[in-house]
Amino acid sequence: MDSDDIVIPLRADRARAGIAPTIGGSLTCFHWSNGGERHDWLRPATREDLRAGTADRLACFPLVPFSNRIRDGRFRFGGHAVELPLNQLPQPHAEHGHGWQAAWRVVARTDDRLTLVYDHAADAWPFPYRAQQAIELTADELRVTLSIENRGTEAMPAGLGLHPYFPRTSDCRLTARVAAMWETDPEIMPTTLVDPDPRLGSSEGLPVDRVALDNAFTGWRRAATIRWPERGTCLRLEADPPLGFLVVYTPPGASYFCAEPVSHCTDAFNLAAQARDDTGMLVLEPGASVSAAVRLRPGLA
């Protein structure tokens, strides 16, 4: 299949976006086209990326039914001793849930809106659920509303969020008000809550090209601003409750960085089992659902 057949385009005035339902229900691009000028707000996927068929090479993917890592892929909940496949070898942990490595179904489509559904039957994850994404594009905003519904007969632990990849430049800055940061061990698992870098919450912003982070921040106010001074552009990232955590990933030497709005901290299920009440872990009763919208609002600085 040609890469053009994989991507469904959305258009709204100057705004363009692409979605690859069969590659984790992922976004492949989000940009403005003004005449011959193009502003990419997310890392655009190449044809080679699409042929590779993995969501972590694209622009943004959904996180369901949990985000980030579960230590050793194991946790206990409601009488279940859950042991998940390790899906990011050689990492020794389960990562980012199921949605990003599954095909999603298109259930509604217009020129500027796409609705996708992913149904997960009970398996190593013993809780059946349905996830849905409603992706809407306007001239000034890309909105992704993500939801998850417990379709089983017992309570289910849950989490959700988005994993966007933003273009990274030498002077790019990220500003977000947060309360604390989880320090991590060599396996990127949480150890201790510490004060965040004060530049992150300042008007100056955190210089993402000069720090190395792969950390979850707690007490996020569900709003962040990214500035690209060299380009004269900026982007406002906003999220609804319960997305009260922000994961920031700035791998050294990469052409991208990530600022991920999520509902819980890394390894939340295991930390909650240790009687912590600040993990953000959700519990969905049978038939219950949770949803949250994430909005990307670009502009010229």
Q: Are 14 and 32 spatial neighbours (Cβ–Cβ below 8 Å)?
A: yes
Tally of helices (H runs) and strands (E runs) in the chain: 3, 26
Q: Write the CATH number for 272.
A: 2.70.98.10
Q: Are 39 and 166 spatial neighbours (Cβ–Cβ below 8 Å)?
A: no
Q: What share of residues in the chain are helix, strand, coil (percent, to 5)?
A: 10, 50, 40
Q: Are 134 and 88 spatial neighbours (Cβ–Cβ below 8 Å)?
A: no
- The residues, any chain, with a CB within 8 Å of residue 186's CB and separated by 6 or more, are none
Q: Which domain holds residue 280?
A: 3-300
Prediction pTM value: 0.96
- Written as tens digits, the pLDDT of the chain (301 aa) is 456 689 999 999 999 999 999 999 999 999 998 777 899 999 999 999 999 999 999 999 999 999 999 999 999 999 999 999 999 999 899 999 999 999 999 999 999 999 999 999 999 999 999 999 999 999 999 999 999 999 999 999 999 999 999 999 999 999 999 999 999 999 999 999 999 999 999 999 999 999 999 999 999 999 999 999 999 999 999 999 999 999 999 999 999 999 999 999 999 999 999 999 999 999 999 999 999 999 999 998 7
Number of structural domains the chain divides into = 1
